[in-house]
Structure 1
């Protein structure tokens, strides 16, 4: 059921993003009086074979345009009259150009038509992020709160010299405000943390290759926090032993467990055994004896006792903060590709297909997380479509820029060939990410 909910959220997000991306092309085509034959969400054929399995789940013709919902859930398209794309080849453009065709319009108008989808995705991403900031605001751990106890260092962090209890006081020699500044710095190049460890101040360099492990979703660091019991599962060992909401666990088998990250591994070491938990209930010390389940739990949800800073924004502030955050995704994407080429990160870990994308969504429907991920995907879609690869919008833009500079357009046969090459590359990439997703899943 959880998998279906995540898949449904991804499908809804992609339907919104693809529909509005294609609307961007459609809008500029109509502005310049170019006929649009079809406007489809998903493909009504077996992509990339435009003449195989041609049918739609729904369609309706209004004016010159057929609007429809395809059966093949991989993107979507607008069939713009007089343009070589994935739905037609140069042989279908043998007749004399008509004034309402794409190929009859000035290069600058065709350029705006091709950029329309990218423009809409960027605007959409900025609007979504702005809306999220206005409705939900921002939550984070302030530096002062984080450094009350310091960080918990997972094995990957310990390998580079960090230790549990370290207090990060600077990033690359500069002060910082929130915990999210640390998590962002981890994936950037040439990052150095200045930490306070007891009476020592140390500089810890984060190797650039560490991003490869981060991309594999290995844990690095987290805030070290005290905790109490937020909820107790019915019928669980915790309930049977008498654990209650609000209890604070302070010891396990006589050993202090002030912080949750130190408590959890101790449970794992006692699977199937009865343990002695020392708890505080309204300031009164008590002892209970639950049995640790096979999944290394006793059946309660913890409540981290670390104050979260919540920032709320006016509409104007939300637009500024949200738009800035949305636009920051573009350089992050560029940096990610650069690090693939530099060998810092394997393509297997960096590239994600539909299965990996679905797993990013919450297993329970969460509108805040849904819109954050949809906004991120909108900006990523804009970036990917801007890449100068034939069959993508960026490839068409390169051809149009060549025409504007050289004063003549490439032949339609050349455009058809580059389209075929680009489609092949995209299909190869699609097969790669699907196989990669499958390997990760199993």
Structure 2
């Protein structure tokens, strides 16, 4: 069932983004009286799952879910329709339109992507608000398991003072900044501060690990469900119970509980549990492997009502008017963060290219439980990603066409059709190479990790 939910979210999000991106090209093309021959969701190589001609345009759904396209008359694109381009230009063709009109047609897709992301952030802020963790509420530091961080001297219990000299009031912003950061100042237990230079290949080292966690919240062990094969299946545990002690030994956090269980292999003991704000004891059977057979909750959202002494997870609500400013701020931050990541990816020294992923990586970011809040926020992020990537000056991408159009508008010279054909072929092979590399990374990580 989890796979079905993830696939459903993945396909719905990508389909929505592809259709709206292509409409971004379609609408200005029609506005400038340019003929659009085909409008397809997914690629229809050899055959299509569905097609219907309405007016001059064939609308359809292809069988290969690697994107979508609109075929505009008189344009050198991935269709490489040389026969049409060999004919004299017609007034309804793309090549007959003024340069500024062609520029608007080519920018239409990414403009729609950015507008969509902005609108999602605005409306999501108004409807859902923000779930935030105030950094000053994190009393016992962060949970650190990644060997890369540990080698740098960052340990469980450390607090973050600043990243690149900037302080943060909420946990989510701090995590985002760490991905692109160069220096981090931490506070050790006892109050001693230490500034650590993050190595240039920090992201590459993180990707090389089986554990890609960073500074995680120290969460208590909250019971999600008891496994059918668990020795505690018929026990007294209830969903939402906080296990805060084992045999009288405090285990305030998950990162304390798990290693503590190893000391009680094969034993029947008592667990200290917080249920509905009351402290009770519940019998607990520990397996010979030092496990309980109990799964913790999988979402941070479940920790909105913790007892004192833990972090403060709060949901901030906004009026519809406030959501415009909040949503715009999120939109600008996300573009800035993604652009910063791209700059690191193209720099071989950072090793960030190792983290580039394809369709499986996108599939993996969707949760295994259906959540409209998560769906829309992830769709907004993917819309920005699609928009930024399409602006890259690679022939065959929108950015490549824009680059040649700007050259034409500045110099007054239009690139020849033969040159554009060759550029399109080069761009196509570059895109195939990037696609193979990204999805090859997915396969490599699946095999090795």
TM, length-normalised to structure 2 = 0.88
Alignment of 1:298 with 2:293, yes or no, is yes
Q: Residue 153 of structure 1: SS of its match in structure 2?
A: coil
Which residue, out of 369, 378, 385, partners 1:380? 385
Alignment of 1:263 with 2:244, yes or no, is no
Alignment of 1:242 with 2:236, yes or no, is yes
Alignment of 1:223-242 (within 5 A): 223-227=217-221, 229=223, 232=226, 236-242=230-236
Q: Residue 29 of structure 2: SS of its match in structure 1?
A: helix
Q: Residue 151 of structure 1: SS of its match in structure 2?
A: coil
Q: Which runs of 5+ in 1 are unaligned?
A: 46-52
Alignment of 1:202 with 2:194, yes or no, is yes
Structure 1 residue 357, shift from structure 2 partner: 0.8
Distance 1:350 1:167 in 2: 26
CA spacing shift, 1:417–1:259, aligned 2, 3 Å: same
Question: Are 2:245 and 2:271, in contact at CA under 8 Å, matched by a contact in 1?
Answer: yes
Distance 1:437 1:420 in 2: 26
Question: Are 1:43 and 1:70, in contact at CA under 8 Å, matched by a contact in 2?
Answer: yes
Which residue, out of 403, 406, 415, partners 1:410? 415
Which residue, out of 385, 394, 397, partners 1:389? 394
Alignment of 1:331 with 2:336, yes or no, is yes
Question: Are 2:158 and 2:186, in contact at CA under 8 Å, matched by a contact in 1?
Answer: no
CA spacing shift, 1:344–1:177, aligned 2, 3 Å: farther
Structure 1 residue 161, shift from structure 2 partner: 1.5
CA spacing shift, 1:297–1:186, aligned 2, 3 Å: farther
Report what 2:158 is aligned to: 166
Structure 1 residue 334, shift from structure 2 partner: 2.5
Q: Deviations over 1:127-155 (max 9, x none)?
A: 11222211111111102211x22222224
Structure 1 residue 280, shift from structure 2 partner: 4.5
Alignment of 1:288 with 2:286, yes or no, is no
Report what 1:50 is aligned to: none
Q: How many residues are paired up? A: 432
CA spacing shift, 1:265–1:218, aligned 2, 3 Å: farther
Q: Deviations over 1:19-72 (max 9, x none)?
A: 111101111101111111111111111xxxxxxx1x221122121111111122
Alignment of 1:276 with 2:269, yes or no, is yes
Q: Residue 68 of structure 1: SS of its match in structure 2?
A: strand
Alignment of 1:3-82 (within 5 A): 3-45=3-45, 53=46, 55-82=47-74
Bigger shift: residues 2-11 or 122-131: 2-11
Distance 2:264 2:431 in 1: 48
Structure 1 residue 373, shift from structure 2 partner: 1.1
Alignment of 1:88-127 (within 5 A): 88-127=80-119
Which residue, out of 122, 126, 147, partners 1:134? 126
Structure 1 residue 351, shift from structure 2 partner: 1.3
Structure 1 residue 227, shift from structure 2 partner: 5.0
CA spacing shift, 1:165–1:131, aligned 2, 3 Å: same
RMSD, matched Cα:
2.5
Q: Deviations over 1:325-375 (max 9, x none)?
A: 123333323222221333354355321111111111111222111111111
Report what 1:366 is aligned to: 371
Structure 1 residue 76, shift from structure 2 partner: 0.9
Distance 1:284 1:360 in 2: 37
Question: Are 2:264 and 2:290, in contact at CA under 8 Å, matched by a contact in 1?
Answer: yes
Report what 1:87 is aligned to: 79
Q: Which runs of 5+ in 2 are unaligned?
A: none
Q: Residue 237 of structure 1: SS of its match in structure 2?
A: coil
